[in-house]
Amino acid sequence: MNNTQLNATDKTTAPRMAVKSKEFKVASRPVVSYSGTLQNELLAALPREVLESLFEHLELVTLPFGKELFEFGGAMDYVHFPTTAIVSLLYVMEDGATTEIAVVGHEGVVGVSLFEGERAMCSAVVQAAGYGYRMKAQHLRDAFNQGGALPALLMRYNTALFAQMAQNAVGGRHSSIEQKLCRWLLDRLDRSPSNELKVTQEMISIMLGVRRESITAAAGKLQDDGLITYRRGNITVLDRSGLEAYAGECYKVAKTEYDRLLVDVARN
């Protein structure tokens, strides 16, 4: 945990709002600080005055591995802005089979519902434990309806998220197991602080909707090619550029769309 997170988890029992110090405290809630919220790239892209207007409704929360933020068909009561956690968006079949349709980390937001009573079209489960900020969905809808930078940013992000989902769908049909695995690893690498990932082959097989034996064979091939090493639930990426080349279009289109989003935001 970095210093920002340590400071952000300090408790206080005295309600306080200090605009000049860019902190907001209420009852026993953790401090919401300007520097802390910048760990999420969407929040960081907002003009400072817009971001500070959300402080009253933002709450720093722990997101443990396996926590379900919402389920398919359920209400999305909260919106989450991950900072160090990684969240999988999953489609679950009636027979329990699961396929990952997108992944969200410090670059994005999970659970946006712009209409009251809207139901989730997928499930959201924390795949890598960490932290994030959350706010009630109604508060985000209220801020969205005020117009300005927030709705424009959210709509741009949804475009990038849709590009990721579209490429996952196309890749699921036309890519090899090795390409799917490369894309899956790169998606996590983009949202992780290092080139090491704690993940089991069983989890990858569930997320990709393929047999574990297929993942074992694909991981072995990538290791033989010097792209990764795999030991006891830990995957270390040795050659990122090689991994990107192997993943091909399956990864590059969605990454290009998100990079374009960041450029557009920087221009505004």
149-174 and 177-189 helices cross at what angle (nearest 10)? 160
DSSP output for 88-153: EEEEE-TTS-EEEEEEE-TT--B----STT-B-SSEEEEEE-EEEEEEEHHHHHHHHHT-SHHHHH
Q: What is the pLDDT of residue 29?
A: 64
**Which letter, b or e, does each residue of 137-167 get, where b requires 16 or more Cβ atoms within 10 Å of its Cβ?**
beebbebeeeeeebeebbebbeebbebbeeb
Q: What is the pLDDT of residue 63?
A: 97
Local structure of residue 254 (DSSP, 8 states): H
- Look up the pTM and report it: 0.82
Q: What is the pLDDT of residue 160?
A: 84
Q: What is the pLDDT of residue 185?
A: 94
Tens of pLDDT along the chain (268 residues) come to 444 443 444 433 333 444 344 555 544 566 788 999 999 999 999 999 999 999 999 999 999 999 999 999 999 999 999 999 999 999 888 777 788 999 999 999 999 988 888 899 899 999 999 999 999 999 999 999 998 899 989 988 888 888 888 877 776 677 889 999 999 999 999 999 889 998 888 889 988 888 999 999 999 999 999 999 988 889 999 999 999 998 877 687 777 777 776 666 555 5
Q: What is the pLDDT of residue 99?
A: 85
Q: What is the pLDDT of residue 232?
A: 81
Three-state DSSP state, 229? strand
Q: What is the pLDDT of residue 119?
A: 92
CA dihedral sign of residues 177, 180, 185, 186 = positive
Distance (Å, whole) CA 184 – CA 178 = 10
